[in-house]
Amino acid sequence: MSRRREGEIAVGHDAFLDIVANLVGILIILVVVLGAQSHSVISSAMTESEAKVDPDLIPASEGDLDELATMAVRAASAQTDAKRLEKTIKSLDAKIARQSERRTVLLALLKEAEDVLEQEQASLDADRRAIAKAEAEAETLRRQLKELDDTEQELASRRPQTIEIENLPTPMAKTVFGKEVYFRLKGNRLSVIPFEELAEEIGRDFRRTSGSSREGVSDSAVGPVRGFVARYVMNRSNELVTDGNKVARMTRARVMVASFEPLREPHGDPIDQVLASDNWLDIELAGHSPETSTVTVAVYPDSYGAFRKLREKFYAKGYATAARPIKDGNPIYVNFSGGGSRSAAQ
């Protein structure tokens, strides 16, 4: 924008200077022409005068004098015009100088105004960006506030459910050394983990594959038994052993860890059906005396409430109950490398 305005001012001033220059040129040409004519007339008059001084010459007539006077008047007029033109030229030069100085001042003021305008525009753009950002943040906060209001209204419309809590006697926990009956409680479904049967399957598979001379860690799976499979990890290593004075190489194989999980989900019977009558639990607990057996339940987070009801049922039947919390998505692990772990029953 600044270049366009400067160009407009420069074009207008150049046109005025061209007009002034043309006028000055014309005046100079007129002065030169009139001066040349005056010089010619004066020279002619002087020549004629010198010729007339000669006694032999004829005196000038009245017409010659009139012509000479006319020439003199013309010369004086030309000289006057020349002086006038000179004054005009000086006046025009002064005017041109003033216009040039004014033009310089105007250009400086224009440049300063353009700089101020650019700064104002930059400040205005920054303010607009800040306003747009603030409006976006305000819109986000309004949306979050609306969501919180909706949530508050929804929670206010709900009436809290009254939960009856029944206190059970809490005996001291003790480590289980007798038999354990394993259950799995997930998705509010209860199932029996055939731990002993799967352990026997692992033992048979282990004995079948432990004779291999290949070293390293390998995994295998057995089952299914009652819908459960067991996956275990076995480690084989070649070691040197001494037998009297002899040294022999022996391959040692041992089960490191095993996991138990059902083939399909969901697995088990709904806990409400199990607790509705004692038939299901009586069948599964048949052959396991409350004095020598402990019930171990692998509980997932979605079934903690159901476990409390189940523990009340086991307590009524005289069984000590142990819980093993299991994280979502994890199978039930048993560590064999350290001798395993026993439950703490109450």
What is the per-residue pLDDT across 45-87, written as a single tens digit (0 to 9) for each?
A: 666 655 555 555 556 577 777 777 788 778 778 888 888 888 8
Report, as an integer, the average pLDDT of 28-41. 73
Q: What is the pLDDT of residue 189?
A: 93
Question: Residue 6's CB: how many other CB atoms inside 10 A?
Answer: 15
Q: What is the pLDDT of residue 340?
A: 45
List the chain domain ranges: 2-132, 174-345
Lowest mean pLDDT segment, chosen from 21-35, 157-171, 227-241: 157-171
d(CA 294, CA 216): 37
For residue 311, give the nearest of 166, 129, 110, 140 by alpha carbon. Answer: 166
pTM for the complete prediction? Answer: 0.45
What is the per-residue pLDDT across 151-181, written as a single tens digit (0 to 9) for each?
A: 877 777 765 555 554 545 544 445 445 688 8
For residue 30, give the nearest of 71, 90, 86, 69 by alpha carbon. Answer: 86
Q: In 3-state terms, what secondary structure has residue 63?
A: helix
Is residue 258 a contact partner of residue 231, using CB atoms and an 8 Å limit?
yes
Going by C-beta distance under 8 Å and a sequence separation of 6 or more, which residues neighbour residue 320? 176, 290, 294, 295, 345, 346
Angle between helical axes of 2-53 and 62-157 (0-180°, round to 10) = 180
Between 270 and 178, the higher pLDDT residue: 270
Report, as an integer, the average pLDDT of 174-196. 82
Q: What is the pLDDT of residue 243?
A: 65
What is the per-residue pLDDT across 91-150, written as a single tens digit (0 to 9) for each?
A: 888 888 888 888 888 888 888 888 888 888 888 778 788 888 888 888 888 888 888 888
